Structure 1
Amino acid sequence: MRHLHPRTAARRGLSAPIAYVLTAILSLIWLPAGAEGTQRLDAYLKGLTSLEADFAQFTFNADRTRMMEGRGTFYLQRPGRFRWQYETPGKQVIIADGKRVYLHDLELDQVSHQSEEKALRGTPALLLANNDPIDRHFTAKPIDSTDGREWVELTPKAADTDVIRIELGFGDTGIESMIMEDSFGQTTRLNFTEIKRNPSLDAALFEVDEKAGGDFLSFD
């Protein structure tokens, strides 16, 4: 996921950042510790209504120079609502309320938004909105470990997605790391901690007050 300046987001729309955010969320939801491919998916999804986790994100360009380091918290409420909240390097929030996706830069007091259908088109995030089996959209296989964790690789089957490869690392407490490679040569690593399954979440986490002031930029 790229941390885009709003002018860049305005030129490109919201699809790129949303693709990375929801790929991360979907991966965290769907593959429990010890999974080989997707055989434990149904058991893990049964009864899952919400998630909360802290994250640390490190993004590198094609020559492996670090471009960004970010930290924050994400919240998920099924179906279709999430909040991806950055505390560093700048306060920024990405919210989906079930109908629209909002990218809110708190420091610039600016919100960019799109319909979920448009924002998620052509990305693995589309799976959040339907009940398709994961193997319809991804090829999943276990890969060799060099750090004692169990690793699974996901390769999107669609040709029109920015994300071309995802690696998920599972430890004793569940998913601990995710590495994503995109079609621009960038690599993003996400480390997850303090994962909570089915916490009680305030509905206000998934709301954006359009009357609160600032600029609202629509890409529909």
Structure 2
Amino acid sequence: MRDTQTKRPSSIGAPQLAFAASALGLTFGAPAWAEDAAERLTERLDPLERYQANFEQQILDGSGERLQSARGEMWLSRPGMLRWEVEAPYSQTVVSDGDDVYMYDPDLEQVTVQEMDDRVTHTPALLLSGSANDLTESYEVFYEQEGGEDVFTLVPISADTLFEELSMVFEGETLTELWMMDSTGQRTSITFSNITLNGDIARDMFDFEIPEGADVIREEL
């Protein structure tokens, strides 16, 4: 294992970790008031202790041209634990154990390690692992119904985030899609399938052992 020099944060795996996207041209009726929408979202997220699913992810530029697509599997256990594995077209693993976030790129033989704090938990990939109350305190929340689905749109209160707008789509009580738009106009959509809510997930799923010989970049916040 080779430890490289400490670097300033570079938004850990922003494209790969984008856990949402903007409305991608969807139009809705008038949204619910923010306070009511935040209460509704909290009611949806509070019972969500564990979540496992396959995912399909697409990243589009501002004109709608596809820049990247990927698929994989994710496991979530609140508070603070996440495992995100990209299977194709490339391999990548992101693990949060509640204290640190590890991003492993086997092609580069490189592991990036970043301490988990408020800045990290506000990245899209880790957003769902945090407290629902913290979420609604950090974002203005709006609620709409579209085609029988419930859509919660989050707009960051602070400018220090990776995205300008985040949407969560629920069918019934189940989270099925996430959408995000960043400040450059880049949009990411993630669709979940084979979803298991509050099933058993082994604790060691959120442990990460740094591979022998890998370069390690430790980022300061």
- TM-score between the two structures when normalised by the length of structure 1: 0.76
The answer as to 2:11 corresponding to 1:15 is yes
2:107 alignment counterpart: 107
CA RMSD of aligned residues (A): 3.1
What letter is aligned with 2:107?
A: E
Q: Quick one: distance in 2 between partners of 1:191 and 1:23?
A: 10
What letter is aligned with 1:87?
A: E
What is the CA distance between 1:119 and its match in structure 2? 5.8
Runs of 4+ residues over 6 Å off in structure 1: none
Residues 14 and 80 from structure 1, CA distance in 2 versus in 1: closer, same or farther, beyond 3 angstroms?
farther
What letter is aligned with 1:213?
A: G
- TM-score between the two structures when normalised by the length of structure 2: 0.75
What is the CA distance between 1:55 and its match in structure 2? 0.8
What letter is aligned with 2:133?
A: D
Q: Quick one: distance in 2 between partners of 1:98 and 1:131?
A: 16
If asked which structure has higher relative contact order (CA below 8 Å, sep 6+), I would say 2
The answer as to 2:174 corresponding to 1:174 is yes
Which whole-Å deviations, capped at 9, do the CAs of 1:113-133 have from their partners, x for residues lacking one?
A: 111128617657578555635
Identity score, percent:
28
Kindly indicate whether the alpha-carbon contact (under 8 Å) linking 1:19 and 1:120 is maintained by their aligned counterparts in 2.
no
> What 5-or-longer segments of structure 1 have no aligned partner?
1-9, 25-34
Kindly indicate whether the alpha-carbon contact (under 8 Å) linking 1:123 and 1:160 is maintained by their aligned counterparts in 2.
no
What is the CA distance between 1:38 and its match in structure 2? 2.9
1:97 alignment counterpart: 97
Which whole-Å deviations, capped at 9, do the CAs of 1:87-125 have from their partners, x for residues lacking one?
A: 012110111111111110123322111111286176575
Matches within 5 A, 1:181-200: 181-200=181-200
Q: Quick one: distance in 2 between partners of 1:162 and 1:107?
A: 25
